């Protein structure tokens, strides 16, 4: 439009959208353009500031590859990923939480009771629970994809000392919806801070720490997939997770167990754990796709 102005540019943008535009895409772009243009008008963004923003996005693009996605991280530290999680959660189901950038596809199938920790030192943690629907019925055969940091605070994709599937595994719930495995406690860690997100955190006096967690993706036919995280209740970063991932129902106590009480059967480590260990119980409650 020849007379496009700062007042009519949003309407001009909308007038460009063709009649065959998907209605949902049109709805999203209508709202997006309105917020984006209002943001620029209200804050009176200068050329230099907008150029800095575009350079930040270019830098994010330069640093992103198949194993690291700075756009996901930017969405995380701005609270957008968590907000998408929250508005798509259902009060009767387990809260979802950020996927993050460290999931590795095609993790190996592991039998129930398998051990994650391999040669790593640390107290054994026995993790078990049930996959259920919102009415409490078990979901047999649910797939439970779990990943976590090694004791050095690194995910396998960040760590040359680990093979890519280290601390990643895919379990299948039994006929009661039950799953179980052993591991060591995950540890608090920092999100990558050598890129534009790190620069943003630094400029705003924010730390890059996340509370420790086990990361879950739970799937079953007929149910909505659940991406979530399970946090120990004694982590110092629970109240200041830099990516806003903590929800009350995802904070779980690790229960200390006396020496000599590790289960005699059903675990890869049965017969090998004489010391004290801890137990973590976490049930995943899935929404039916029509809920």
Interactions with a copy of itself, residue window 178-207 (CB under 8 A): 203-206
Q: How far is the CB of 188 from a copy of itself (least distance, A)?
A: 15
Measured distance CA(89)–CA(97) in Å, rounded: 9
What 3-state class would DSSP assign to 100?
coil
Q: How far is the CB of 220 from a copy of itself (least distance, A)?
A: 17
Q: Helix crossing, 70-77 with 196-203: angle to 10°?
A: 20
Q: Residue 183 in contact with residue 250, Cβ under 8 Å?
A: no
Q: Residue 208 in contact with residue 242, Cβ under 8 Å?
A: yes
State which of positions 46-85 bind a copy of itself (CB under 8 A): 46-47, 49-50, 54, 57-58, 60-62, 64, 69, 71-72, 75, 78-85
Return the residue of 142, 246, 273, 287 that touches a copy of itself, per CB under 8 A: 246
Measured distance CA(33)–CA(10) in Å, rounded: 6
Is the Cβ of residue 184 or residue 243 nearer to a copy of itself in the bound state?
243
Q: Which residue has the tokens 């039998």?
A: 111
Q: Is 33 in the site for a copy of itself (CB under 8 A)?
A: yes
**Nearest CA among 151, 182, 178 for reference residue 269:** 182
Return the residue of 40, 112, 114, 269 that touches a copy of itself, per CB under 8 A: 40
- Of the listed pieces 41-49, 130-138, 186-194, 280-288, which binds a copy of itself according to CB under 8 A? 41-49
State which of positions 1-30 bind a copy of itself (CB under 8 A): 1-6, 9-10, 12-13, 16-22, 25-29
DSSP line for 264-285: SSSSTTTTT--S-EEEEE--EE
Return the residue of 147, 171, 181, 244 that touches a copy of itself, per CB under 8 A: 244
Is the Cβ of residue 98 or residue 184 nearer to a copy of itself in the bound state?
98
State which of positions 80-139 bind a copy of itself (CB under 8 A): 80-88
Measured distance CA(188)–CA(78) in Å, rounded: 20
Is the Cβ of residue 46 or residue 105 nearer to a copy of itself in the bound state?
46
Q: Are strands 226-232 and 168-172 parallel, antiparallel or unpaired?
A: unpaired
Is the Cβ of residue 61 or residue 266 nearer to a copy of itself in the bound state?
61
The beta strand positions in 112-220, using DSSP E, are 124-133, 143-147, 168-172, 178-184, 189-190, 209-210, 214-219
Is the Cβ of residue 7 or residue 175 nearer to a copy of itself in the bound state?
7
Q: Residue 76 in contact with residue 97, Cβ under 8 Å?
A: no
Binding residues with a copy of itself: total (CB under 8 A): 77
Q: How far is the CB of 74 from a copy of itself (least distance, A)?
A: 9
* CA 232 to the chain's CA centroid: 15
Q: How far is the CB of 233 from a copy of itself (least distance, A)?
A: 10
């Amino acid at each position: 439009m020849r007379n496009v102005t700062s007042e009519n540019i949003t309407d001009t943008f909308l007038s460009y959208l063709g009649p065959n535009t998907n209605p949902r895409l049109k709805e999203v772009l209508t709202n997006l353009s309105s917020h984006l243009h209002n943001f620029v008008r209200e804050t009176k963004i200068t050329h230099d500031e907008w150029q800095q923003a575009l350079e930040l996005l270019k830098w994010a693009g330069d640093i992103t590859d198949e194993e690291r996605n700075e756009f996901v991280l930017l969405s995380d530290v701005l609270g957008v990923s968590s907000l998408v999680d929250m508005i798509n959660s259902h009060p009767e189901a387990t809260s979802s939480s950020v996927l993050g950038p460290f999931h590795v596809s095609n993790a190996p199938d592991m039998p129930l009771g398998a051990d994650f920790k391999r040669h790593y030192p640390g107290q054994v943690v026995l993790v078990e629970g049930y996959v259920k629907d919102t009415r409490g019925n078990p979901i047999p055969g649910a797939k439970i994809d779990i990943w976590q940091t090694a004791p050095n605070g690194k995910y396998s994709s960040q760590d040359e000392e680990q093979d890519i599937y280290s601390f990643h595994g895919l379990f299948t719930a039994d006929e009661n919806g039950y799953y179980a495995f052993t591991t060591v406690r995950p540890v608090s860690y920092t999100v990558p801070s050598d890129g534009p997100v790190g620069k943003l955190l630094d400029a705003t006096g924010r730390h890059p720490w996340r509370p420790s967690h086990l990361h879950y993706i739970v799937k079953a036919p007929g149910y909505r997939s659940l991406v979530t995280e399970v946090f120990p209740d004694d982590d110092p970063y629970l109240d200041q997770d830099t990516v806003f991932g903590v929800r009350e129902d995802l904070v779980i106590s690790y229960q200390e167990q006396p020496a000599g009480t590790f289960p005699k059967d059903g675990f890869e480590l049965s017969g090998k754990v004489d010391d004290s260990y801890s137990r973590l119980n976490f049930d995943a409650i899935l929404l039916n796709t029509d809920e």
